[in-house]
Chain A
């Protein structure tokens, strides 16, 4: 009895000191009423003048709303060390760490509690945890990304090696012919007819060689995004007629019919890159002639307007009656260097870059090149679409 009185007495004598402590110190009786609480509780919630002494524990926002009076009493009397969380008046969640000690004073059981607001620590800890989790996820994602990139790099490296090896084969073929025919041309008793014939072979093979080198360099420029289109105004109809003119001899020699259908309503002038357009059409028509042994090559121009948009598009449709493109080969024709990944049985002369370059050029012009249809022994149809753009004001025509 004496001991307890001393204990309470010591609380009284240290009251001043308790008031200064940052942690909340309180004594709660068995009915859940606060018998003493220091200033820290008021400070903690910013209630300057509110008094909690003599108020129920549930008034002071230290427990969550779901915990009733019974729960609170059970916890403070039974659990010595626990955490609670409760929203303050502004709805922010606070975390509290409790240390409790039960004692008996004047025959009634009471509890002395030290409550510390650990919201900052918990928030920080949660941030660290989130960050750690995120970091792990980020590391995982990055690792996956790197794996993927590594795989791609290896594949690209392989493609490049195969490409170089196949390209050197392709470049050596015309060189072999040039060198060989140069030797034949040195024969003293060569007929005039043979001399002319050999010279034309040398000329053709050197042109092929140059085309292959140009195509390869152009593709490299495109892949490095260094290729630039040069737009200008030009007269479409005369441009097309001039282009078709260059094919009349070639098609006549092969016994092929060459048709060009230009509707009346196509725009007179176009603002685009005529060199790029010529290259695309040259490639499409050139391929058509190359893979067609008899029948006809057609270039049909169509114009389409789009409702609700002022934009118009021109379609250059190139069709042939040639051998067609095998189904398993169709998906690869626009992919640069990819034919080189195949085994050697699928083989066509040249760099194989003509269609990939045409497609990329068309895209730079705001259009596209697509394979419309292809049937074995019946032929293929390609379409090159191009947006119709008027000559910008202030531009030279």
Chain B
């Protein structure tokens, strides 16, 4: 069974880009373009991992994190932050225990994203 990923990204071009890339690598992809969609999607699917953009309208990445934390169903889903913000502009350790990594989007082509996820799930 393929791994189920929730991709949260407000930029439509990037959302489409990563979805195509992940689907090409046989992941099952759910998408959300803002924080509110993200919560409802996370509540209604069984997810293996969430890719979360930080800067979004209608509840940004930080709000999404704290809301996911509130619900038993979503509390333990591993999260990878994907952002083009420089890492020094925010403290990853302060975000949440669920956040397992931070990937800079400018380094993330569809293939590198799929490769990193494949390597995460195989370890």
List residues of A whose CB falls within 8 A of some B CB. Answer: 165, 168-169, 172-173, 175-177, 179-181, 183-184, 187, 201, 204-205, 344-345, 347, 349
B111: Cβ under 8 A from any A Cβ: yes
By beta carbon, the residue of chain A nearest B112 is: A183
B72: Cβ under 8 A from any A Cβ: no
Known: A169-B84, A176-B84, A344-B55. A201 touches B109 (CB 8 A): no
Size of the B side of the interface (Cβ < 8 Å), in residues, is 26
| 10 residue pairs from A and B, CB less than 8 Å apart | A173-B14, A180-B109, A180-B110, A181-B17, A183-B21, A183-B109, A184-B17, A184-B21, A344-B55, A347-B55
CB contact list, B15-73 vs A, under 8 A: 16-18, 20-21, 24, 54-57, 60
A169 in contact with B55 (CB, 8 Å): yes
Residues of A within 8 A of B105 (CB): 172-173, 176
B89: Cβ under 8 A from any A Cβ: yes
By beta carbon, the residue of chain A nearest B105 is: A176
Q: Which residue, B17, B20, B56, B60, has most C-beta atoms of chain A within 10 A?
A: B17
By beta carbon, the residue of chain B nearest A182 is: B109
By beta carbon, the residue of chain B nearest A201 is: B13
Residues of A within 8 A of B106 (CB): 172, 175-176, 179
A165 in contact with B89 (CB, 8 Å): yes
- Given A173-B84, A183-B110, A347-B57, 16 additional A-B pairs, CB 8 A: A168-B84, A169-B83, A172-B105, A176-B105, A179-B109, A180-B14, A180-B21, A180-B108, A180-B110, A183-B109, A184-B20, A184-B110, A204-B13, A344-B54, A344-B60, A345-B60
Q: Which residue, B83, B85, B104, has most C-beta atoms of chain A within 10 A?
A: B85
Known: A169-B84, A169-B85. A177 touches B60 (CB 8 A): no
B91: Cβ under 8 A from any A Cβ: no
A205–B17 CA distance with the chains assembled, in angstroms: 13
B11: Cβ under 8 A from any A Cβ: yes
**Minimal beta-carbon separation of B91 from chain A (angstroms):** 13
**Minimal beta-carbon separation of A287 from chain B (angstroms):** 16
A204–B12 CA distance with the chains assembled, in angstroms: 12
**Minimal beta-carbon separation of B108 from chain A (angstroms):** 7
A187–B25 CA distance with the chains assembled, in angstroms: 13
CB contact list, B82-113 vs A, under 8 A: 83-86, 89, 104-106, 108-111
Residues of A within 8 A of B110 (CB): 180, 183-184
Residues of A within 8 A of B56 (CB): 347
Instruction: Report which of B11, B14, B21, B86 forms a contact with A168, defined as CB distance below 8 A.
Output: B86
A349–B86 CA distance with the chains assembled, in angstroms: 17
**Minimal beta-carbon separation of A372 from chain B (angstroms):** 25
A49–B18 CA distance with the chains assembled, in angstroms: 112
A303–B20 CA distance with the chains assembled, in angstroms: 53
**Minimal beta-carbon separation of B87 from chain A (angstroms):** 11
By beta carbon, the residue of chain B nearest A178 is: B13
Residues of B within 8 A of A205 (CB): 13
By beta carbon, the residue of chain B nearest A183 is: B109
**Minimal beta-carbon separation of B19 from chain A (angstroms):** 11
Residues of A within 8 A of B16 (CB): 201
A169 in contact with B86 (CB, 8 Å): yes
B55 in contact with A177 (CB, 8 Å): no
A254–B89 CA distance with the chains assembled, in angstroms: 36
Residues of B within 8 A of A183 (CB): 21, 109-111
A349–B13 CA distance with the chains assembled, in angstroms: 13
By beta carbon, the residue of chain B nearest A349 is: B11
A177 in contact with B13 (CB, 8 Å): yes
Residues of A within 8 A of B89 (CB): 165
Residues of B within 8 A of A181 (CB): 13, 17
A132–B19 CA distance with the chains assembled, in angstroms: 75
**Minimal beta-carbon separation of A254 from chain B (angstroms):** 14
A172 in contact with B17 (CB, 8 Å): no
**Minimal beta-carbon separation of A344 from chain B (angstroms):** 6
Residues of A within 8 A of B11 (CB): 173, 177, 349
A172–B86 CA distance with the chains assembled, in angstroms: 10
Residues of B within 8 A of A347 (CB): 55-57, 60
- 8 A-B pairs with least C-beta separation: A172-B84, A172-B106, A180-B17, A177-B13, A183-B109, A169-B84, A176-B105, A176-B106
